[in-house]
Chains A and B, each alone.
Chain A
Amino acid sequence: MKKSNLFSSCKVLVTFFLIAFTLAPILLSSHPWPNEGRDYLFENASNETGASNSVSAIYLGYRAMDTLGETLVLLVSITGTMTILVGLVKKEKSDSPNTFLLTRDKRKSNQLRTHLLEVVSGKLGPIVLLFGFYVMLYGHISPGGGFQGGVILASGIVFLALGNQSEKETKLNNPIVLARIEGFSFLALILASTSGMLMGKGFFGNPLSHISANFIILLNIIIGLKVGTSIASMCIAMMGRSHDD
């Protein structure tokens, strides 16, 4: 036993030092940072894409394919996580399903959801939703954008779910509604990316560039809705509700 432990810790040390020596010249390099990209974007980003936030101009304009890939990673990951978690939760079904929706005196679980938490988060919920929409829609002018706004939207929806003091629920906490919005926005994203092809601008090109350059706003809205609803439905699945099949 001791010998194999010694052997394996030797291997770990060797791995560590080899990687440290290999990565040192790259991570510690002081080669001057190139400024061709920055100069090009400084000149042209605002005119070509209509966004004055040059970071949004890059990841929704020039490198929009990366954003499509990122959205796909998010979609696949949330699908997988929800499948695994829902499968686990189903195995240990408590005697009263949807204990989440019951008021405090009637339910046995979720006791940490105190009255203070419910009042505060219930009142904050709509404000956070508004803020999420603001960040999403103004992403092309100030720091923000689809992903950032979408995550804030998701947290707003979670606030509304936690702050629900009555037994009626809002539509926004219904997993089916969220799943429908998510499905629609994914389809809209694919259609928006191919619309440029039909108008002769190439894949992910701006189909309306002769009218306005603000294709970015549309992409921001679609991505924001998709990210927000999918993360919210994952959080609501973790709270115990999912749209069953």
Chain B
Amino acid sequence: MMIERTLIFMIFLVGFWAIIANKHIIKKIFGLNIINAAVVLLFILEGSRIGTQAPLLDMQVTNIVDPIPQALMLTAIVISVCVSALALALSVRLFKATGSFDIDVIQERLSHEQ
């Protein structure tokens, strides 16, 4: 129980560290994906504690898991994929414009361009 939550917490922290500490913009986008994955896992895992069967309402089921977190996370996954797609397209454009993936170098080169 607690061990799973601790592991998800560590996945979250790894993703967050990638966003704040890493200079490579593609790795920052990876970090964003990892954070989103950690939150999705958390919702679904914890929502599944109160039942034992999948939330398909046939004749035989008696004890389904909570379907609300699963529905919310469908939306959250789609949104995170869309954000990553746009971020990757922007980083391709930044690379073509400045020739580097390092965020400090990009900032410097763009400010010289003005």
A→B interface (CB under 8 Å): 12, 15-16, 19-20, 23-24, 27-28, 30, 33, 35, 37-38, 41-42, 45-46, 52-55, 57-59, 63, 66-67, 69-70, 73-74, 76-78, 80-81, 84-85, 87-88, 91, 141-143, 145, 147, 234
B→A interface (CB under 8 Å): 1-2, 5-6, 8-9, 12-13, 16-17, 20-21, 42, 46-47, 49-51, 54-58, 64-68, 70-72, 74-75, 78-79, 82-83, 85-86, 89-90, 92-93, 96
- Min Cβ gap B26→A in Å is 15
Q: Indicate if the CB atoms of B78 and A81 lie closer than 8 Å.
A: no
Q: Indicate if the CB atoms of A42 and B64 lie closer than 8 Å.
A: yes
In Å, the complex CA distance between A65 and B72 comes to: 12
Q: Indicate if the CB atoms of A88 and B93 lie closer than 8 Å.
A: yes
Residues of B within 8 A of A142 (CB): 56
Contact A33:B66 (CB < 8 A) given known A27-B9, A28-B2, A28-B6: yes
- Min Cβ gap A39→B in Å is 10
Q: Indicate if the CB atoms of A38 and B71 lie closer than 8 Å.
A: no
Pairs A–B under 8 Å by Cβ, sample size 9: A16-B20, A27-B5, A27-B9, A33-B50, A35-B66, A57-B67, A74-B78, A77-B86, A143-B56
- Min Cβ gap B63→A in Å is 9
Q: Chain B residue with minimal CB distance to A46? A: B57
The one of B65, B68, B96 in contact with A88, judged by C-beta atoms closer than 8 angstroms, is B96
Q: Indicate if the CB atoms of B82 and A74 lie closer than 8 Å.
A: yes
Q: Chain A residue with minimal CB distance to B84? A: A77
